[in-house]
Structure 1
């Protein structure tokens, strides 16, 4: 038998229109969000950036001090109008980082709990829950209590419980953080499939760039309570605009003044780039584009500077080497054999070079 739809018909809803303004004195969140029905948005940022505060504000657990929150044209919160819908009355489903399943209830009873609270009959709620568990591939675990479920199974039960009330906004707080690396791979793929079938608005909070890149259609990067970058995963990865984003996607990123194919980064340090840009510009390139030499490379290498090794660490099957060049940080990925041949160690002086064809310049 075909399972129930993953959400109620949104009736052509307009999605989420929010300006989350929350002033806590020592910290202020000021982020505008617009999300279409059927779209998955990821809020990405370092610890303390305001991601969880934003999620709590959307759920109604942290009252706004300004701005507004509208969902499918309905105002859920607007301090200026003294309007605030309490959390329990909002059409919002939440999946918490630790899932927070009721330990004394079976998987079926956990999923049926929300519809029962909405007034659905016990039989109808159990039928809805059974259909959702079947959709999640958990029909054989309907009678199991949370302590008997694996991490991946518990995550899917939590998703089914959140969907059972037909939310127009689904919030996911670090949805894969509680899983080990092996389970994470499979559950991430399953979660992506279920989110793709969700017809309303879905927002996930994560600090893991891979989760964000795989699960979301669009990313909003938050730092210090502010939105610093927004775009598709490909746009964010290709054109980072802060050091935090560059580190997430594994790029060297610099900002300087461009004139044609040259970007001046610091006194005595300039980069020749593939793209021609004029004015303030960013230039980015991967650590794999950096080559290190004991002596100055031949004169045809236009991007070459003396550098000093400041540290080294394993990075997959390579060694990531941290350096400074003209006072700026630089990272290079080398094979263990290359590290040994160059006799690299903290404090070693080398020459670093980057091919212009492997750089990417764009307006700041």
Structure 2
């Protein structure tokens, strides 16, 4: 999976400088987040990781218990200084997952709502709303109410409503999750264009890696309320550091002890293309895993016996889940699967290409 590539790089002091420490029931969030002007950062993580809690804290819907939230040099939440700015007074725009458009208002009045709340008169607010609806391609839909809009149109109205207040920080909570697959492709491209023109900081919360890779300049991976990895798409996808990230980018990942090109992972010693000494991760794609009915001739490196746990379709290939001394996933063609007569419980031999096996230090 590849990214569209960063459009810009933040320089100097970040527009958003936050240490989000918050408690919600028995869950504790502790996430540091810095976002520059014009930068889009995606928060990714499994369900229950803390993404929504972080977004609510940024919006002012969930006060911090410690840490700080500073936007454009102004403290919005700093518990030790008894500073807390309510949501309606923050220069923050939010697009919620379900959009939350006012059902009784037209598209124009939904977009005009924010400017009106901030002091604009009715005429000026409506003129601004019309300009934004035109910008998102909905000039002819100004009088329609939310129930008369498609999912993609409602998403664009919600985006226009958030941007109409000229937010210093734009928050997007799973903005494409409610759309069908076809609408999602077109809307993602449209959203990418609008985010590229937004001068403020943007934080995108999503569970979809494609949304993150296409829309964001930088990824922040959150698990259990903590940041486990961050960087641009190339850095994160090349060197995953948790099972979740490895699954996200489609790699097998294991941890072991390296001595040169050999990495000891449990009972197996794997040969990798990289030279590493000490605690190391070893990663390889499912496509690098070959399956054989018997031990391959010549005893090639990186081979071991395994048991088929499950087989399912994965694009044009079949994804085979394997148990044994080193659980891995393999991608094989339907023809290869038929020739091997793959079925759960079957014994096979695994061979992994050393040239596609990468190793890297745990601490790097």
Alignment root-mean-square deviation, CA: 1.1
User: Hey, what does 2:173 align to over in structure 1?
Assistant: 173
User: Hey, what does 1:151 align to over in structure 2?
Assistant: 151
1:235 lines up with 2:229 in the alignment: no
8 Å CA contact 2:14–2:34 kept in 1: the answer is no
User: Hey, what does 1:7 align to over in structure 2?
Assistant: none
* Deviation of the 1:317 alpha carbon: 1.7
Any unmatched runs of 5+ in structure 2? 1-11
C-alpha change, 1:266 and 1:76, in structure 2 (3 Å) is same
Please give the residue correspondences for 1:79-90 in structure 2 after superposition, counting only pairs within 5 Å: 79-90=79-90
* Deviation of the 1:242 alpha carbon: 0.1
C-alpha change, 1:359 and 1:40, in structure 2 (3 Å) is same
Q: Distance in 2 between matches of 1:17 and 1:148?
A: 40
* Deviation of the 1:324 alpha carbon: 1.6
User: Hey, what does 2:187 align to over in structure 1?
Assistant: 187
Correspondence for 1:355 among 349, 353, 356: 353
User: Hey, what does 1:278 align to over in structure 2?
Assistant: 277
* Deviation of the 1:180 alpha carbon: 0.5
Matched positions, count? 351
Correspondence for 2:331 among 324, 330, 333: 333
8 Å CA contact 1:301–1:355 kept in 2: the answer is no
8 Å CA contact 1:21–1:67 kept in 2: the answer is yes
Q: Distance in 2 between matches of 1:352 and 1:99?
A: 48
* Deviation of the 1:24 alpha carbon: 3.2
8 Å CA contact 1:13–1:73 kept in 2: the answer is no
Provide the secondary structure at the position in 2 that maps to 1:319. strand
Q: Distance in 2 between matches of 1:142 and 1:270?
A: 65
User: Hey, what does 1:212 align to over in structure 2?
Assistant: 212
* Deviation of the 1:23 alpha carbon: 2.1
Provide the secondary structure at the position in 1 that maps to 2:327. strand
Q: Distance in 1 between matches of 2:59 and 2:87?
A: 6
* Deviation of the 1:298 alpha carbon: 2.3
User: Hey, what does 1:62 align to over in structure 2?
Assistant: 62
Q: Distance in 2 between matches of 1:91 and 1:72?
A: 10
8 Å CA contact 1:13–1:37 kept in 2: the answer is no
Provide the secondary structure at the position in 1 that maps to 2:287. helix
8 Å CA contact 1:43–1:221 kept in 2: the answer is yes
Q: Distance in 1 between matches of 2:269 and 2:130?
A: 63
* Deviation of the 1:300 alpha carbon: 5.8
